Amino acid sequence: MSNYTREMESAERAARLAGGLLQESFGKELIVDVRSAHDIKLRIDKQCQQIICDALKADFPDYSFLGEEGGEGGEIEWIIDPLDGTVNYYYGLPLFCVSIALRVHGVLQLGCVYAPVTGELYTALRGQQAMLNEQPIHVSSRRQMAQAIVFVGHGAHDRSGEAGIRRFAHISSQVCKVRILGSAALSLCYIAAGKLDAYVEQSIHLWDFAAAQVILESAGGKLEYAPSECEPLSGAVIAYNGLLPIHEALEMSS
Ligand code: IPD
């Protein structure tokens, strides 16, 4: 049994609590705190972060927090994105989720991603099988780009959206289909579940993918992260089923 089973129970509870609020408020009028060209910060983001932090703190008072809505991190830290897929959520698209990871001395130990509308709960403890609603999941066995469905991230910063679109255009000729889903965490979980095959994004924050990384790797997939020199806690991500020649496909696009 993993050392972090209790933490996982706590993360699941917290994710379901925040997910409950997101679902109740889905499709209703929402308070926008900040709006920029490609991003929105919603008041409900902060409310969900508070719900998650309160729930986790009650069980593990000494652990730190790091996340989209603040926190400084520490040796044992929860990495939280209370609402991944914010723009989808705001526009009434059901592709969004709560994402909670635990990192201990720099190593991600658990991931929990909850999509309230579909009721999908993806979980993994490092070194154990990844699960979707308590059923084991595994990445796809597709090896050829021509059969693959690849996600491209349309990031919010550093012109990464434009970079994503250029990649989208190039890679679309090599694969079966390309998708931009609007939630990095869910995209990675879909790869973990073998529904789709790869994900690339030029500039993405750690909290957008930390939980889903554990799930993907525990399902047999791979995630490569190249930290940005300009933006802390941010960088480029290539994630895939571990079988596709995704690097070759991307090189052709540079
Ligand atoms: C965003 C989503 C999106 C990704 C962006 C993220 P947010 O997270 O994951 O898919 O392309 O880079 O910022 O803002 O909805 O939590």
Q: What pLDDT, on the 0 to 100 scale, is given for residue 244?
A: 97
pLDDT tens, the chain, 254 aa long: 469 999 999 999 999 999 999 999 999 998 888 888 777 889 999 999 999 999 999 999 999 999 877 777 789 999 999 999 999 999 999 999 999 999 999 999 999 999 999 999 999 999 999 999 999 999 999 999 999 999 888 766 656 667 777 777 888 999 999 999 999 999 999 999 999 999 999 889 999 999 999 999 999 999 999 988 777 788 899 999 999 999 998 885 44
Q: What pLDDT, on the 0 to 100 scale, is given for residue 39?
A: 77
Among the atoms of ligand 1, which is closest to the Cα of residue 39? 14
- Spatial CA neighbour of 77 closest among 181, 196, 233: 233
- Residues present in the chain in total: 254
Q: What pLDDT, on the 0 to 100 scale, is given for residue 254?
A: 47
Ligand 1 pocket, residue 204 CB under 6 Å: yes
Q: Domain limits of the chain?
A: 5-134, 145-250
Ligand 1 pocket, residue 82 CB under 6 Å: no
Ligand 1 pocket, residue 191 CB under 6 Å: no
Give, for ligand 1, the residue of 96, 205, 208 to mutate: max count of ligand atoms closer than 8 Å to Cβ.
208
Among the atoms of ligand 1, which is closest to the Cα of residue 201? 11
Give yes or no on whether 5-134 and 145-250 have one common fold: no
Q: What pLDDT, on the 0 to 100 scale, is given for residue 135?
A: 98
Ligand 1 pocket, residue 8 CB under 6 Å: no
- Spatial CA neighbour of 215 closest among 1, 11, 6: 11
Question: What is the rounded distance in angstroms from the CA atom of residue 199 to the CA atom of residue 153?
Answer: 7
Q: Give the residue, by CA position, lying nearest to ligand 1 atom 6.
A: 155
Instruction: Judge whether 139 and 191 are in contact, CB under 8 Å.
Output: yes
Partners of residue 121 on adjacent β-strands:
114
Among the atoms of ligand 1, which is closest to the Cα of residue 85? 15
177-179 and 39-42 strand pairing: unpaired
CATH number of 145-250: 3.40.190.80
User: Given its phi and psi angles, is residue 194 left (phi above 0), alpha (psi -120 to 50 degrees) or beta?
Assistant: left
Helix (H, G, I), strand (E, B) or coil at 76: strand
The stretches of 72-183 forming alpha helices (DSSP H) are 86-91, 160-171
Q: Which two tokens stand for residue 71?
A: 């926190």
Among the atoms of ligand 1, which is closest to the Cα of residue 86? 15
Superfamily of domain 5-134: Fructose-1,6-Bisphosphatase, subunit A, domain 1 (3.30.540.10)
